[in-house]
Chain A
């Protein structure tokens, strides 16, 4: 049962990454590339009817985490207190930026909300990458000082940074060079992803320029991936042991590289949606490879006193987990139904939907 809900949780979070990921990416493109009013409109139209539903995957992920793995939810949400609150504030700014911009036609009003939307999207991409970095790096569970736990073994608290910015220091922080590095990987990957979505959903004049950008940034992304793989052993002694023990898991890195290498052909794709498909593969592959590398751990311990949190020691009771399968199956069928309807109704290019105009 634990494994079933683990797969559900990872599935929901991967879906969130792909869906809200393109919103963040579109926000970053909006911030750096969109100069004319027409291009800005095209970008916000391309995500307008979708971002709200996309964000729900995060809430659903939080809900399933709370329900299936309550101890992990309690531990990580209180331990990562400050960055989570900042993510909340950024999500608010992103939403407000998108929803309020079109309400008043005034150049200063529009400029403010354009920047709010763009900067919040950029920071969210960075923060979510760093969040993943924090999870795989692990935390000082039980807040062990000199070999003695100062808290219950599954609780911890991380400050925003430590003075050395080192991921292997005894006093860890949210921001260190490793997590920051993953944050940058996330920003670059989502920027490519967002650009692919814009190409897919609009006829904006930026599309040609974006294809060039994707091609160039994909080299940057390749370098970043190679560098991250070569430093990974610093935070995790045997990063590949799960893959070596279970070669079937190599499917996840394989998906990642299909996505990554496929994108080098972005300039010759016949269909506008193909690029989006490949960047989705890269994101899903990268995320699942990372989580698979630490499985069954979900939050490693950096000390030797307290054990890591695994899906087995943080899970809800057996009955509660079984009974949830029924409602979850119904809910998932409905969600897929809504999703199909939504994408059918807002099929094709979105340039003229008139989003945000009331």
Chain B
């Protein structure tokens, strides 16, 4: 049983991590692409249209990867988590079916038109198809996070005698207190990823002295979008989300912050330190006194409950992993705000394109929003453990009863191999598009 659960979880974690490399870019990027197309319609400057085409090519490749790695996610609920699906399908089946019907059809019908149909459609309708794809991908994110929010904070349900969850209130799924902060947090984080990618490619072109006019356009657009979105990630959305966790999952909060012992007279905020779960302490800790109490409750001296306050069978199963995931996410999020503030400051002084060290930073920062997004999701998922449905259904009770660990390991290896191949092909092709660059505007 232990081994079976381990492979089931590994497979889900691996496939969802790989999958989420793509939608986090496409959701945000679709908005930036629509912005470029809109600017073209307004200014008639062909640079904007060529920029649209360039990012559309990168978008299409990412979108295709997102689609092919997304289908295994929908299947895995049934294949590897059959018991979970049987018991909760009455509720999460609803939101997942809606995702298919409302967003996948929208995206897939118009993607072909967006990519190949500019000549047939004309610029105005081409802009509209872009907008529809953007809408579809944001709707998809919404319904996934509605599903996720129900697992974190179940609402509108009733549990039958046979253990099955049935829906009693449809609209409760969409007014869940967990949903809106999570959704906006996630979408803003997706904007951060795409802003850093657009800005990073822009900085790369400027430094390389290649496609410089596009480089400047990309960098400028990236930092403006980036500043707004990286702030939204922290306040209000991140802050609201943390307060939700404190209120509804206090044991998760304690593990995230690395608080082993209840701190009655105000809790310190841990910046760095390695958790020693066995001896219930943090090694090499650097912390600021009372700040956590203030951030959480607006009061320097409020008590914050530690892990010792809760029975061990409800402790998150991977406390160190959760602690690191959370700290990496927060640390990077803070860094992103700092870099974007500096960049916009330099932009307003007309010095951004000459600030070499900042340009270099943007090139090297490109992978980090991906890490922040992934660790953010790890925080949410590890934080929910040992539950699948918080406080109601344990992860150990959700796996497929008839699929042996050997079969799951077999398919896990298959996915690792296949995704390694996909990853390499993707890297080659994206590299080729970036190297080729946007089409120069004919004078």
Binding site for B on A (CB under 8 A): 48-50, 52-53, 55-56, 58-60, 62-64, 66-68, 70-71, 73-79, 81-82, 84-85, 88-89, 91-92, 95-96, 99-100, 103-104, 143, 151-152, 154-157, 316-317, 319-320, 323-324, 327-328, 331-332, 334-335, 338-339, 341-342, 345-346, 353-355, 358
Say yes or no: is B108 at the interface (Cβ < 8 Å to chain A): yes
Chain A's nearest CB lies how many Å from the CB of B122?
A: 11
In the assembled complex, the Cα of A156 lies from the Cα of B433 at a distance in Å of 48
Contact flag A52-B86 (CB < 8 Å), given A103-B429, A157-B403: no
Interface centre among B57, B79, B80, B407 (most CB of A within 10 A): B79
Is there an interface contact between B93 and A63, defined as CB atoms closer than 8 Å? yes
A-B contact pairs, 21 of them (CB 8 A): A52-B67, A52-B112, A53-B105, A62-B75, A66-B78, A66-B92, A66-B93, A68-B93, A73-B78, A74-B83, A74-B85, A74-B400, A85-B414, A95-B67, A103-B432, A143-B402, A151-B401, A156-B402, A317-B90, A320-B170, A335-B101
**Nearest-CB residue, chain B, relative to A99:** B64
Contact flag A155-B105 (CB < 8 Å), given A70-B86, A77-B82, A96-B422: no
Is there an interface contact between B112 and A342, defined as CB atoms closer than 8 Å? yes
Interface string of B71-111 (1 = CB under 8 A from A): 11011011110110110111111101111111011101111
Is there an interface contact between B401 and A63, defined as CB atoms closer than 8 Å? no
Is there an interface contact between A338 and B106, defined as CB atoms closer than 8 Å? yes
In the complex, chain A residues whose CB is within 8 Å of the CB of B318: none
* 8 Å CB contact of B108 from A52, A64, A84: A52
**Nearest-CB residue, chain A, relative to B88:** A70
Is there an interface contact between A335 and B89, defined as CB atoms closer than 8 Å? no
In the assembled complex, the Cα of A335 lies from the Cα of B422 at a distance in Å of 30
Say yes or no: is B250 at the interface (Cβ < 8 Å to chain A): no
* 8 Å CB contact of A345 from B105, B117, B429: B117
Is there an interface contact between A60 and B101, defined as CB atoms closer than 8 Å? yes
In the assembled complex, the Cα of A82 lies from the Cα of B117 at a distance in Å of 39
- When A and B form their complex, which 10 residue pairs have the shortest distance between CB atoms, in order from nearest? A70-B89, A77-B78, A49-B112, A67-B93, A63-B97, A78-B82, A317-B166, A331-B101, A63-B100, A157-B402
Contact flag A320-B86 (CB < 8 Å), given A56-B108, A100-B429, A355-B116: no
Chain B's nearest CB lies how many Å from the CB of A101?
A: 11
In the complex, chain B residues whose CB is within 8 Å of the CB of A52: 67, 108, 111-112
In the complex, chain B residues whose CB is within 8 Å of the CB of A55: 67, 71, 108
Say yes or no: is B411 at the interface (Cβ < 8 Å to chain A): yes
Is there an interface contact between B98 and A331, defined as CB atoms closer than 8 Å? yes
Interface string of B396-438 (1 = CB under 8 A from A): 0000111110010011001000100010010001001100000
**Nearest-CB residue, chain B, relative to A64:** B97
Is there an interface contact between B401 and A338, defined as CB atoms closer than 8 Å? no
In the complex, chain B residues whose CB is within 8 Å of the CB of A323: 94, 167, 170
- The interface on chain B, measured as residues whose beta carbon lies within 8 A of the other chain's beta carbons, has a size of 65
In the complex, chain A residues whose CB is within 8 Å of the CB of B67: 52, 55, 95
Is there an interface contact between A81 and B166, defined as CB atoms closer than 8 Å? no
Say yes or no: is B60 at the interface (Cβ < 8 Å to chain A): yes
Is there an interface contact between A316 and B166, defined as CB atoms closer than 8 Å? yes
How many A-B residue pairs have C-beta atoms within 8 angstroms? Tell me: 216
In the complex, chain B residues whose CB is within 8 Å of the CB of A338: 105-106, 109-110
In the assembled complex, the Cα of A59 lies from the Cα of B103 at a distance in Å of 11
In the complex, chain B residues whose CB is within 8 Å of the CB of A75: 82, 86
Is there an interface contact between B108 and A92, defined as CB atoms closer than 8 Å? no
* 8 Å CB contact of A358 from B57, B93, B111, B403: B57
Is there an interface contact between A358 and B71, defined as CB atoms closer than 8 Å? no
* 8 Å CB contact of A53 from B60, B72, B109: B109
**Nearest-CB residue, chain A, relative to B168:** A319
Chain B's nearest CB lies how many Å from the CB of A44?
A: 12
Is there an interface contact between A320 and B112, defined as CB atoms closer than 8 Å? no
In the complex, chain A residues whose CB is within 8 Å of the CB of B78: 62, 66, 73-74, 76-78
Is there an interface contact between B85 and A70, defined as CB atoms closer than 8 Å? yes
In the assembled complex, the Cα of A79 lies from the Cα of B79 at a distance in Å of 8
Is there an interface contact between A324 and B94, defined as CB atoms closer than 8 Å? yes
Say yes or no: is B113 at the interface (Cβ < 8 Å to chain A): yes
* 8 Å CB contact of B113 from A70, A79, A345: A345
Chain A's nearest CB lies how many Å from the CB of B411?
A: 5
Chain B's nearest CB lies how many Å from the CB of A54?
A: 8
Contact flag A92-B418 (CB < 8 Å), given A53-B109, A82-B407: yes
**Nearest-CB residue, chain B, relative to A336:** B105
Is there an interface contact between B90 and A316, defined as CB atoms closer than 8 Å? yes
**Nearest-CB residue, chain A, relative to B160:** A317
Q: A70-B90, A84-B79, A154-B86 are in contact. List 20 more A-B contacts (CB 8 A).
A: A48-B116, A60-B105, A62-B75, A63-B97, A63-B99, A66-B92, A70-B88, A77-B82, A78-B403, A82-B411, A92-B69, A100-B429, A155-B82, A155-B402, A316-B166, A324-B94, A331-B98, A338-B105, A342-B109, A345-B113
